[in-house]
Amino acid sequence: MNYTTQMDAAKRNIITKEMEAVAKKENIDVELLRSLVAEGKIAIPANKNHKNLDAEGVGQGLRTKINVNLGISKDCCDMEKELEKVRVAIDMKAEAIMDLSNYGKTEGMRKKILDICPAMLGTVPIYDAVGFYDKELKDITVDEFFKVVEKHGEDGVDFITIHAGLNREAVELLKRNRRLTHIVSRGGSLLFAWMELNNKENPFFEHFDRLLEICEKYDMTISLGDACRPGSINDATDPCQIKELITLGELTKRAWERNVQVIIEGPGHMALDEIQANMLLEKKLCHGAPFYVLGPLVTDIAPGYDHITSAIGGAIAATYGADFLCYVTPAEHLKLPDLDDMREGIIASKIAAHAADIAKGVKGARDWDNAMSKARADLDWETMFNLALDPVKPRKYREASTPEHSDSCTMCGKMCSMRTMKKVLNGEDLNILRD
């Protein structure tokens, strides 16, 4: 059967191979999945030209997914190091990679990633435009912006971040409501600059139908970027952020009319007590579309530890509706992350995602924890390591500090509560003082 996009197929009651793969992974009924894709509440980013894609679903009732950002910059332009990050991220079961390369001819990097990447791949085409044309931002034309988007679709990119909600009205609102950190979105700030320097409307807002035509052609999901996301807790839930969110909701309905899948991007930096309300606002204003958050970081004072501030916010956000977490590394705000930074960021985000899945009752989420708890009660160290989110680190700790008795650890020794309960309940002698 012929269909243009995953959403088009879903509306026609067609079950695609990608839907079958996602339903199997999530252990849910494929017909339920199809209906939610048709409604836009689940997105399956799957560009027709991404031939080695192992499809994932993002949205209502599914496991919370994580994304890993990487890519070359002018100061750090070692392509092989970034490709090694891709390989490690895939080994660590990241569901998505975003190539945020912003230096030189990034097409080569993008194609190399696609060659080795079964995870869904995202990009921000405006990052590519300056290098692609080798001309200053101000001088890039509307047609040239859209040609870059078309190239990303042709190459096989599964989802693209487009800051279409930053229109002239939003810009004027931003000027009237000054923030501590202004616009912290890199793509958003570039569009803001282009609009101001040329005194023109945002081309992706003004010509949104042209964007939809390209996305429909390749079945590229639009990740509607939050140019006005808060970059500090002071700026959270302000008029600029909410105005843009309202616009993104309107654009979402237009995209769905063309059978283009949508993900909504969200904050940012945000105090703990604002997160739940923000998740509700997004789901209400954007009609239940999947929500993708960067963090949110719950305090601004922990450079070097922002994988922790982000994981705290991410767990709460996903509990109350976020479907997709963009990882944050210890290097956030400081430098391009190295391989170790990336590993730390992935683990922190996976902890947040899984903790939220338990809280929101995702099917099977608790089973993993119950298996770990049983292994702990049984003092079965090998099973504990095998079940661990990161098997390497706990095994390393165990080997670095070997207890006298193998059924305990060096913190509690023979006073280990698990050891005590196991022996007493089995009718064995406890012998704490005797060998």
* Half-sphere exposure for 395 (CA within 13 Å, toward CB): 11
CA distances 360 to 81, 314, 408, Å, are 37, 13, 34
CA distances 327 to 250, 307, 332, 405, Å, are 27, 8, 10, 39
Tell the burial category of 372 from Cβ atoms under 10 Å away from its Cβ (0-12, 13-18, 19+): middle
Q: CA 324, 62, 290, 309: dihedral to nearest 10 degrees?
A: -30
227 is in an annotated binding site: yes
76 is in an annotated binding site: no
Whose structure tokens read 């190539």?
99
69 is in an annotated binding site: yes
187 is in an annotated binding site: yes
416 is in an annotated binding site: yes
152 is in an annotated binding site: no
185 is in an annotated binding site: yes
226 is in an annotated binding site: yes
Strands 120-123 and 65-70: unpaired
Distance of CA 287 to the CA centre of its chain: 20
Q: Taking CA 224 as the corner, what is the angle to CA 99 and CA 149, rounded to the nearest 5 degrees?
A: 55
Contacts of 336 (CB under 8 A, 6+ apart): 73, 75, 76
279 is in an annotated binding site: no
CA distances 149 to 69, 201, 207, 341, 416, Å, are 19, 18, 13, 30, 59
176 is in an annotated binding site: no
229 is in an annotated binding site: yes
311 is in an annotated binding site: no
87 is in an annotated binding site: no
Contacts of 80 (CB under 8 A, 6+ apart): none
Tell the burial category of 8 from Cβ atoms under 10 Å away from its Cβ (0-12, 13-18, 19+): buried
265 is in an annotated binding site: yes
Contacts of 400 (CB under 8 A, 6+ apart): none
128 with 137: CB under 8 angstroms?
no
* Half-sphere exposure for 355 (CA within 13 Å, toward CB): 14
**What is the CB neighbour count within 10 angstroms for residue 35?**
15
409 is in an annotated binding site: yes
292 is in an annotated binding site: yes
Reduce the DSSP state of residue 255 to 3 states and report it.
helix
Please give the annotated binding residues, written as ranges.
69, 98, 127, 163, 185-187, 226-229, 265, 269, 292, 333, 409, 412, 416
Please give the annotated binding residues for Zn(2+), written as ranges.
269, 333
Please give the annotated binding residues for [4Fe-4S] cluster, written as ranges.
409, 412, 416
Please give the annotated binding residues for substrate, written as ranges.
69, 98, 127, 163, 185-187, 226-229, 265, 292
